[in-house]
Amino acid sequence: MRNYILRRLLILIPIMLGVSFLTFAMFRMIPGDAAVLRCQLGCTPEILEDLRHEMRLDRPWYQQYGDWVWAIVRHGDLGHSLTESRLPVTTELDRRLPITGELLVMTLFLALLLGIPPGVISAIRPGTPLDWLSRVGSVLWLSIPAFWLGILVIAFGVSWFDWTPPQFGRGYVPFLDDPWVNLQQFFFPSLVLALAIGAAIMRLTRSSLLEVLGNDYIRTAWSKGLRERTVVMRHALKNALIPVLTIVGLQVGALIGGAVIIESVFNLNGIGKYVLEAILRRDFFVVQSLVLLFAVAFVTANLVVDILYGWLDPRIRYS
Amino acid sequence: MAQEVAAPLSIEEAAPPHIPASRRALRMARRHPLGVFGLLVIAVLVSAGFFAELMAPYDPLSPNRITKAFAELSAPVDAETTTFTVKDGADLGYGQTVGIESEEIIVLNIAGNTITVQRGAEQTEATSHDAGAALGSSTVDTLSRPSAKHPFGTDRLGRDVLSRTIFGARISLMIGMVAILFGVTVGSFLGVLSGYIGRLVDSVIQRSVDAFLAFPQIVLLLAIITVIGDEDSAVRIFLADNTPIPQGEFLGVPDFLNIFVISIGIGLAVAAGVARVVRGAVLSVKENVYIEAARAMGASDARIMLRHIFPNVAALIVILASITLPLAILAEAAISFLGVGVQPPVPSWGADMTGPNRELALSGTWWPVFFPGLALSLVVLGFNMLGDAFRDISDPRLRGALGAGSGRNL
């Protein structure tokens, strides 16, 4: 088991190098770099050269990339922004990680809540109005883009209830400082993001549970005279959840993508907004570092999923 | 559900004397009402995209400029003087001075309801109600609520939201189709090569695909499009200099080259996924005895790939294309929404939901944002429902199992 986890974590190294280098290479391909973007009014070739030198963009590409990697290995220093502020990436992360973290945890929680119970009900009562309702609902939620729904929530919140998400007036309020304001800040963005993911989970729970319910051991459980509750919860659900878990793990990528959009809609200053701004400003050290972080998050989430498999199905061995 | 239980039986029933195709289609339609609904929605979208000039009552780019088709139907609203076209790339913010120009009138400024125009040497200022007087034409209704004249209302420049939504369908479809065509072609080429040749080629292609897939999709798209959409980007310059792709207006779409470059960007992201799936299929196809037979007969690798492998994965590729099309449409909307994709004033569903329209929505003017988003949702819904129906028909056991949900990345 320990070897398995270690091996999986080792795979991270080439992935991290790969994605960060790909990002670096992409942004180096275009002639207009961050210096050109900063050097707007009254820009002369001399000023541009000075800026490049100051931003250390005048050195060969392999030195730039190599230095960046070496700083991470030696001090865990992710470099700094190429904008005038020159803010270190790690400082920004300290400020922004809690925001995105809370958003994603709440989204995942809501998505499971919206996905698994309706999926189970739908599967044990197929063909009933309840089943039909949750199936149609799931297709609907899957099709509505989160950014549109987000704008509508804010727009109708304002015009019908005279309510604006608190983050528009003031910044992020941590949960411990004021739980009520904090929940107001995060509930709707999380819900909007969770609907599509919850719908995907619901569909998968339904079909997977339907398949498991057709197995011989379920018939045996019924014929023993067990209550429905026991049959579904103890015997069927646990097995049905394995494919669901896989999808939840894979959805981590979609979750991060969703955060980029929803943070911009709901004005949350998290990682998603940070990466969007950095891309627009061609601040490639920031983009590289964030992409690195995403890759780590994705691989770790899927590792956790793989470990959970063993808990759901003890027959699964790690090799 | 009843129909799924009946499915295996119907195969035996269908074997004896043939049922006319039309009857079979009708029966299928009755069994899958949601699929029919999806098909209808898609049909409406496609015809809106193709016949936008005929369906849209107004010009999507300039207020009150009535499109040709409708100019004949409704009374011409002083056509000669109303016609002014928006100058390249000039989208108006509040109170911003811009040049909207025609031969005789220059609109200097549109701020809220007030319009300043210059005709020749004289300057006139007017509110929207008597802007007509200033322009010598009908009024420019800015931000009017949905009404009989403008069913979806008008935006802050007085442009008809319905017309913009209809033309938006064309942009969406265009980008979606070019992206899929490019992505699926490149992806299946790489997939077949990777699966059939194996060894080093396989490793190189698959590790590159790994790197692409390790990004969250939207971040990858944003990065690719920022890079290749740049005015000085090599891709753009290459396309402009070496291909017949028009740089100006084409098929009623202004700045076609930009639209094309965006499609290529989305196509690249599509290609990575397609290459992975096609490779898997090729690996199993190439173990077939007929491949060995072809090789024994002295067929070259190229011939085997083209004539024996490709036809056997073609069905899969078509399915992949149909699943990915709505995702590509959604991707275009998302990146345009984030300000990286299609740029105003080109009508795009995603771009129309952002910028000044989004600010307006926050203060209660919902229609410029609501309708483009509704159209986008309906289209994706249509594709998802059609996909579900197809899956039911081809494999009743899968009832809404994988598909739309699990493949979704936005």
| Tens-place pLDDT, residues B265-323 | 999 989 998 998 899 889 888 888 898 899 899 888 889 888 888 888 888 888 888 88
Sign of the CA dihedral with A132 first, then A137, A138, and A142 last:
positive
- Cβ atoms within 10 Å, residue A140: 15
When computed from its CA atoms, the radius of gyration of chain B, rounded to whole angstroms, is 26
A31-35, A208-212, B51-55, B203-207: least confidently modelled range: A31-35
Instruction: Point out the least confidently predicted range of A3-12, B1-10, B202-211, B294-303.
Output: B1-10
Q: Highest mean pLDDT range out of A194-198, B217-221, B252-256?
A: A194-198
Contact (Cβ atoms closer than 8 angstroms) between residue A138 and residue A202: yes
Report pLDDT for B360. Answer: 83
Q: What φ, ψ does residue A9 adopt, rounded to 5°?
A: -70, -30
For residues A281-300, average pLDDT: 83
Q: Which of A145, A253, A280 sits opposite B226 (nearest CB)?
A: A280
Q: Which of A203, A213, A292 to mutate to probe the B interface, most B CBs <10 Å?
A: A203
Q: Does A261 contact B219 at a Cβ distance shorter than 8 Å?
A: no
How many angstroms separate the CA of residue B126 from the nearest CA in chain A?
Answer: 30
Q: Which helix (H) or strand (E) holds B107?
A: strand B105-111
Helix (H), strand (E), coil (C) string for B116-159:
EEEECCEEEEEECCCHHHHHCCCCCCCCCCCCCCCCCCECCCCC
- Do the Cβ atoms of B214 and A295 come within 8 Å? yes
Residue-level pLDDT at B372: 93
User: What's the pLDDT at B105?
Assistant: 44
- Which candidate, A292, A301, A318, places its Cα nearest to that of A13? A292
Question: Nearest 5 degrees, angle CA B310-CA B312-CA B318?
Answer: 80
Residue B398 DSSP class: G
Closest in A27, A29, A136 to B234, CB measured: A29
Confidence of residue B402 (pLDDT cuts 50, 70, 90): very low
Give the range with max mean pLDDT: A14-18, A48-52, A237-241, B290-294.
Answer: B290-294
Taking alpha carbons only, the member of A9, A15, A108 closest to residue A306 is A9
Give me chain A's average pLDDT, please.
83
Q: Do B227 and A254 touch (CB under 8 A)?
A: no
pLDDT value at B57 more than 80: no
Tell me what the mean pLDDT of segment B323-333 comes to.
Answer: 90
Using only the alpha carbons of chain A, give its radius of gyration.
Answer: 24
DSSP class of A68 = H
B392 touches A at CB < 8 Å: no
Q: Which residues are bridge partners to B107 per DSSP?
A: B100, B117
- Assess whether pLDDT exceeds 90 at residue A315: no
In this prediction, residue B356 carries a pLDDT of: 83
pLDDT at residue B394 is higher than 80: no
Q: What is the DSSP code string of B28-94?
A: HHHH-HHHHHHHHHHHHHHHHHHTHHHH-SB-SSSTT-B-HHHHHHSPP-SHHHH--EE-TT----T
Report the distance separating Cα B30 and Cα A294, nearest Å.
Answer: 46
- Convert the pLDDT of each residue in B110-157 to its tens digit: 444 444 555 545 555 544 333 333 343 344 566 778 887 778 888 777
pLDDT score of B82: 34
**Within its chain, how far is the Cα of A18 from the centroid?**
20
- Give the residue with greater pLDDT, B21 vs A134: A134
Residue A17 has which token pair?
């190098």
A314: confidence class by pLDDT, cuts 50, 70, 90: confident
Has residue A60 got a pLDDT over 80?
Answer: no
What pLDDT was estimated at residue B140? Answer: 57
Report residue B388 CA to chain centroid gap. Answer: 21
Report pLDDT for A240.
86
Chain A residue numbers with beta carbons less than 8 Å from the beta carbon of B385 are: 139
**Chain A partners within 8 Å of B353 (Cβ):** 147-148, 151
In angstroms, the separation between the Cα of residue A208 and the nearest Cα of chain B is 7
Q: Note whether B165 contacts A: Cβ–Cβ < 8 A.
A: no
Q: What is the pLDDT of residue B66?
A: 42
B364–chain A Cβ distance below 8 A for any pair? yes
- More confident of the two residues B391 and B134: B391
- Interchain proximity B400–A152, CB inside 8 Å: no
Q: Does B388 touch chain A (CB under 8 A)?
A: yes
Give B231 or B349, the one with higher predicted confidence.
Answer: B349
| Cβ-nearest to A276 among B210, B338, B381 | B338
Q: What is the mean pLDDT of residues A286-295?
A: 85
Strand order in the sheet with B114-119: B85-86, B97-101, B105-111, B114-119, B122-127
Model pLDDT for residues B24-46, shown as the tens digit of each residue: 778 877 777 888 888 999 999 88
Instruction: Please give the pLDDT value at position A177.
Output: 79
Contact B377, A148 (CB under 8 A): yes
Residues on chain A touching B406 (C-beta within 8 angstroms): 200, 204, 247, 250
Alpha-carbon distance B74 to B67, whole Å? 11
| Cβ contacts of A142 on chain B, cutoff 8 Å | 380, 384, 404-405, 408
Q: Which of A58-62, B333-337, B352-356, B396-400 has the lowest mean pLDDT?
A: B396-400
Inspect the interface and report whether the beta carbons of B364 and A154 lie closer than 8 Å.
no
Return the pLDDT at B85.
32
B314 touches chain A (CB under 8 A): no
Cross-chain Cβ contact A279/B370 below 8 Å: no
B134 reaches A (C-beta below 8 A): no
Residue A31's pLDDT band (cuts 50, 70, 90): low
Yes or no, beta carbons of B358 and A151 under 8 Å apart? yes
pLDDT, residue B138, reads 40
**B13 vs A27: CA distance, rounded Å:** 62
The nearest CA of chain B is from the CA of A159 a distance in Å of: 5
Alpha-carbon distance values, A264 to B25, B45, B237, B355 (Å): 46, 29, 32, 12
Q: Who's near B92: CB < 8 A, 6+ residues apart?
A: B98, B110, B156, B157, B356
* Residue of chain B with shortest Cα separation from A142: B405
Rounded distance between C-alpha atoms, residue B7 and residue B10, angstroms:
5
pLDDT in tens, A122-136: 888 887 888 888 888
Interface mutation target, options B215, B365, B366, B367, chain A, most CBs of A under 10 Å = B215
Chains A, B: CB pairs < 8 Å: 179
Residue contact B405–A276, C-beta within 8 A: no
Residues A253-290: pLDDT tens digits?
888 888 999 998 888 888 998 899 888 887 877 888 88
Q: Which pLDDT score is estimated for A127?
A: 79
Residue B373 confidence class, pLDDT cut points 50, 70, 90? very high
Task: Locate B282 and state its tokens.
Answer: 């090729």
Averaged pLDDT, A71-90:
77
Q: Which residues of B touch A300 (CB under 8 A)?
A: none
Judging contacts by C-beta atoms under 8 Å, the chain A residues touching residue B38 are none
